[in-house]
Structure 1
């Protein structure tokens, strides 16, 4: 019986402590291309994903995976205009997704924000699409609808299900595996509409540099990655926030200091209705408001709307003060 072509990549990863090694960028690209083209048996896919999970992805592997996944897309990125690509895959558990208000604040001020994510793959979390529905914002259900929403409203959320069904199916294997897989990492770097600027949140600090270097290998012009609250792209105002960036071929990092000296106690329950109430000024919460403004400030700095942190935070505050409070009125 002839050896399956995909076995090459499993052997590279699984030969033990002395015999195994990471994939090169080209090997990672070829492996993911086979996966995208349904040229892999289910047992091989499971073995590959878990071997990658144990060793964790290198920037070269991640760049190869993303390049192959992007080649499977069936839409023309040149016809879609997005300023900022915003990934949202983790879901929130300890706090509400205040980052949504930050992204909508940017959109209200002329920045076209394309958000993509997946929902339901981890039990007990609040996902973006569900909260948008509570706010009265319809998630797009196709590439064309997302493009129209960006044109009309400067904001669109589209599930991975409608961008790359294969990756969507893979990310939803988490309950079966019991662990995250490389898919949870690579989807954050997909930038499906090829926006010049992208921002990502991760949970494990060690992944910041992996994302940063992978973005460099992918020649993404402007990218920022931070350890976000719960793994989402959300600045926690109670903690210092290290942001690692790519601007063309240069890597940089800067620390955004904590806004509060003492940490806040997490709420006993999460009520998504409070997002609309905070926006309308009917609900007061210093942690939530600082999160919205602080997250927007990091994005504004990335976008080049401000030269330093102080200017970015002042601009975000001015956006917040001038927001349309009738936007989410019932």
Structure 2
């Protein structure tokens, strides 16, 4: 089946168009990732979905197809996507949190692409988090360091090409959400940040369809999984494979903006940054525990 079949389903007009089923979404994404689709059809699919709004079935189907294009998966305990561009984020303190989770004994796989913002990858280097260009390399890094950062552009070039269409189309597409749902290490638990609150429930619903066990999605710093300590946080996701949501109380009285604390990542943070890291680490560890076999979370 050609991609124009799915364009027609999405774009027939009022009263006739409809969303894709999970199976249709997977098939459409397989065509887009193959490189055989006409670029006009790819752009049409992505923009039609943006106009109508993505469904959990569509995101789940797209994510399944994207995951299938990866080589043999590494085994991670905690999936940690990082796809924000850093425009409203301070220093990437969440990397300290990921490092602390790994130091607790868990295997933490970060993965991402942050556009022109080099602070995340520079911060990873500063904290000794290996930057990996393939699943095989990431697996070896996890065996040695219990933490790794998988670079999307090297590990999944075809998905990265779709993500880069934002530069052509001028708009964000559902590919951003698909990347967050990629889970290349097949972890049972995932922590995710979003910039737009409406995507929290979408990602939680898609994760439920995909059979994940534990997920925490928050509106985090600049779209990353990074908890502001001075604000209450609405969290969505899964616990023991079932839908979950909670309102987490503020941890401090400091309501300053994260971007007010921008700058290079320092090895030993203090003050506000320390509170950011502590809150982020705590929620990540709670999520990880909820995804463990036999968890009663």
Q: TM-score, normalised by structure 2?
A: 0.91
Deviation per CA, 1:177-225, whole angstroms, max 9, x where unpaired? 2111111001111111111111111111111111111011111122221
Whether the 8 Å CA contact 2:130–2:141 is kept in 1: the answer is: no
> What aligned pairs does 1:234-253 form with structure 2 within 5 A after superposition?
234-253=226-245
Does the alignment pair 1:101 with 2:86? no
In the comparison of the two structures, how many residue pairs are matched? Answer: 291
How far 1:127 sits from its partner (Å)? 4.5
The answer on whether the counterparts of 2:214 and 2:241 sit within 8 Å (CA) in structure 1 is no
Aligned positions of 1:138-153 closer than 5 A: 138-153=130-145
- Measured in 2, the distance between the counterparts of 1:277 and 1:267 equals 19
Q: Which has the higher contact order (CA 8 A, sep 6+)?
A: 2
- Conserved? CA contact 1:203–1:230, under 8 Å: yes
Q: Does the CA-based 8 Å contact 1:219-1:248 persist in structure 2?
A: no
User: 1:25, 1:57 → 2: CA distance?
Assistant: 11
Give, in angstroms, the shift of residue 58 of structure 1. 0.5
Structure with higher Rg: it is 1
Q: Structure 1 residue 37 and structure 2 residue 31: aligned?
A: no
Query: Match for residue 162 of structure 2?
Result: 170
Distance 1:127 1:267 in 2: 13
35, 45, 48: which is aligned to 1:48? 45
1:1-330 aligned within 5 A = 5-75=2-72, 77=73, 80-94=74-88, 95-120=90-115, 123=116, 125-266=117-258, 270-272=262-264, 274-278=265-269, 284=270, 286-304=271-289
When residues 27 and 81 of structure 1 are mapped into structure 2, their CA distance, relative to the original with a 3 A threshold, is closer
Hey, what's the Cα distance between the residues in 1 that align with 2:100 and 2:127?
Answer: 14
Asked if the contact 1:202/1:208 (under 8 Å) is kept, the reply is yes
Unaligned runs of at least 5 residues, structure 1: 279-283, 306-330
List runs of 5+ in structure 2 lacking aligned partners.
291-297
SS at match of 2:192: strand
Compute the displacement of 1:298 (Å): 0.5
TM-score by length of 1: 0.82
